[in-house]
Structure 1
Amino acid sequence: MPSVGIPQVDGILDTLAGNGSSKPGTTASDTGQMIVVTAPKASDPTATLTAFEKGADKSWKPVFGPTKAFLGSLGMGEPKDNVYRTPEGTFALDQAFGRQANPGTKMPYFQATRQDWWDSNMKSPTYNTHVRQANSPGGDSENLYDAGPVYDYAVNIAHNPQRTPGKASAMFLHVTNGEPTQGCVAIDRDVMRKILAWLDPAKHPKITIGVNAAAPTGDGPSTTAPSGTTPKTPTTPSLPGVSDILGDKGLSDLLTQLVNLIPTLLGTK
């Protein structure tokens, strides 16, 4: 990790951290971990992921990536139930889980069994939450064990904390199977495991997902972790996120600046 930060990077990440969904009672300054996911176009099903941590000197430094990520098959934008699109904006990361034992994360974590479901039934009172019961809650609810190795390690992207039916449920950062997702962000298994071990709820981690016209494809070598490895998209997401406050162009401009600065931050330019 570089020993010093770059003021421009710090300003961009502080701006991203200060927007979007947060836990009640937290502020921008409370966020000390940021995961940034960018794609060249909103319709792209592949993206690049880089993770950053804020140090004691208040500067942000990369800790994982850049590495390849998969998005929904329709890219990113306004998420809806039964539409394979990844939410655009900045969101808190909260509940972690997996079919495997806790890899050492400090996040709230449960090991999934065949009685663990993510409720995607829009008529259910527990819509868009984890439930533990013998039978499916109905609708398109997912069994978190039967979904297979993609859920060996995962963390919830809290894009719909109000649990509004129809605004999409079960959006996770999880292990990739090498294909676009149904709306989640998916990355290499080893990177996912390391990210879970790194995440710390005391640092109020967030993820920003957005368009960056200058973004790389994600096929380049990772600096700190191994690389993992149509479509109409609305231009304005309806969910609370950084793009609602900055506007889509504002979010894209920030992400373009950030990606252009990453090589300098890593000392590769």
Structure 2
Amino acid sequence: MSVRKGAPALLSAGTLCAALLLTGCAHPTPSLPPAGRAAAAQPGGGSRPEAPPAGAAGEAGGPAEAANSLIATPVPAPHLPGIGPVTQGLVPDGTTQALVVTGATADSSTSTATLYARDPGGRWIPTAGPWPAHNALQGWTSDHSAGDLRTPIGVFRIGDAGGRLPDPGARLPYDQDEEFAISGTGFSGEPLEGSFDHVIAIDYNRVPGRTPLDKERPLGADKGGGVWIHVDHGGPTQACVALPREPLRALLRALDPAAEPVVVMGPAPELAR
């Protein structure tokens, strides 16, 4: 059964786009790629779409589940913290919510996610997080290709959600469907079951306004797709970003289509440009 809630909200994406259903987060137990690959220069990834090698939930993965932690003392700033002028310039003028996902280096598979809101004065205030997160096994890239096991770098719209489980109270359009089920094991041998109980589609190589399950890839299948924010299964992903279950549910309830939310993601040195 598929239940689509809400009307699709179209927003401008960032500079980078890619796809996943062909090489993404939903495959069980993948074989590890050669170690020591250098990060490329563009985005891409996969969640359910880009089937993960046995051992990784497609583009799924993440650190131990942690409860939603709200920041007690917000510190407003005219620019997103840690984000340089080049990256900041990619955030649409109408956007007032941004999820910033930052890795320490280009090859890191662990990261940190914080939700920010922009006040009427134009200052960015942290509203939730920071939360531990996982990204792709080989780190990050600004030139994502299907199966490269790297998460796309950039600024992307996040306006469509879904999952195997019922809507937890999302304001984004939410598609409940049994097709979000996944099984198998991740790169660290962890079970992938439940990774797609809730997901948020990242607008990399996809058509905005459609269910995350949609397989159309505007940039072509070779650029990957199906890059999602999904439930962390305790290890690296294929290309997705993974958050602990409760923080992800909190994020789904917090994101407002009227705020034209985006995700700003990548290694800290790249985002600081």
TM-score where L is the length of structure 1: 0.61
Residue 69 of structure 1 is matched in structure 2 by 133
Aligned ranges 1:183-194 → 2 under 5 Å: 183-194=239-250
SS of equivalent to 2:224? coil
Question: Post-superposition shift, 1:14?
Answer: 8.5
| 1:7 pairs with 2:78 | yes
Residues 17 and 206 in structure 1, CA contact (< 8 A), matched pair in contact too: no
Residue 160 of structure 1 is matched in structure 2 by 205
Residue 94 of structure 1 is matched in structure 2 by 159
Residue 145 of structure 1 is matched in structure 2 by 181
SS of equivalent to 2:222? coil
Amino acid at match of 1:100: L
In the alignment, the residues of structure 1 paired with residue 256 and residue 78 of structure 2 have an alpha-carbon distance, to the nearest angstrom, of: 24
| 1:170 pairs with 2:226 | yes
Pick closer, same or farther for the CA change 1:70–1:205 going to 2, 3 Å.
same
Pick closer, same or farther for the CA change 1:13–1:174 going to 2, 3 Å.
farther
Give the CA RMSD over aligned residues.
Answer: 2.3
Amino acid at match of 1:210: G
Aligned ranges 1:1-269 → 2 under 5 Å: 2=73, 5-9=76-80, 12=83, 16=87, 18-19=89-90, 28-77=92-141, 78-113=143-178, 116=179, 144-147=180-183, 148-161=193-206, 162-213=218-269, 251-254=270-273
Question: Post-superposition shift, 1:177?
Answer: 0.7
Q: Which protein has the larger Cα radius of gyration, Structure 1 or Structure 2?
A: 1
Question: Post-superposition shift, 1:94?
Answer: 2.3
Residues 100 and 115 in structure 2, CA contact (< 8 A), matched pair in contact too: yes
Q: Higher relative contact order at CA 8 Å, sep ≥6: structure 1 or structure 2?
A: 2
Which structure 2 segments of 5+ residues have no match?
1-71, 184-192, 207-217
In the alignment, the residues of structure 1 paired with residue 243 and residue 262 of structure 2 have an alpha-carbon distance, to the nearest angstrom, of: 16
More helix by share: 1
User: Number of residue pairs matched?
Assistant: 181
Which structure 1 segments of 5+ residues have no match?
21-27, 117-143, 214-250, 255-269
Residues 13 and 60 in structure 1, CA contact (< 8 A), matched pair in contact too: no
